[in-house]
């Protein structure tokens, strides 16, 4: 069964939001459907590279996991540390290189 069929089937049943975790390969497809049909897409996480709508339109995808980068910055500043070692277990941490 294709994503297109599954999504259109849900739309015909009156679904008003999509909720769930998807693989990084599937995320862009569901993200595009969400923005096209202006239907919220709630997921526990975003993949590393999220394509933003090119038209400048509203983005209907939302991640339930809060960004933690500001918490890292605040902690480092609070304690006055000038060096830290940040250990991680996923590619997601590569986003923190600008900290």
Q: What is the pLDDT of residues 31-62, one digit of tens each?
A: 888 888 888 989 887 766 655 656 555 688 88
Q: What is the pLDDT of residues 71-86, one digit of tens each?
A: 888 999 999 999 888 7
- pLDDT, position 54: 62
- pLDDT, position 27: 83
- What pTM did the predictor assign? 0.55
Report which of residues 3 and 57 the model is more confident about: 3
CA 38-31-14 angle, to 5 degrees, is 45
Write down the domain spans for the chain.
1-65, 66-99
pLDDT at 94 over 80: no
The 10 Å CB-count burial string (b at 16+, else e) for 14-47 is: eeeebeeebeeeebeebbebbbeeebebebeeeb
């Amino acid at each position: 069964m294709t994503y297109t069929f599954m999504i259109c089937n849900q739309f015909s049943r009156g679904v008003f939001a999509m909720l769930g975790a998807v693989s990084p390969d599937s995320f862009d497809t569901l993200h595009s459907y969400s923005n096209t049909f202006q239907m919220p897409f709630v997921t526990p996480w975003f993949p590393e590279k999220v394509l933003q709508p090119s038209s400048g339109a509203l983005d209907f995808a939302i991640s339930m996991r809060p960004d933690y980068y500001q918490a890292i910055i605040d902690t480092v500043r609070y304690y006055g540390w000038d060096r830290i070692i940040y250990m991680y277990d996923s590619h997601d941490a590569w986003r923190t290189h600008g900290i």
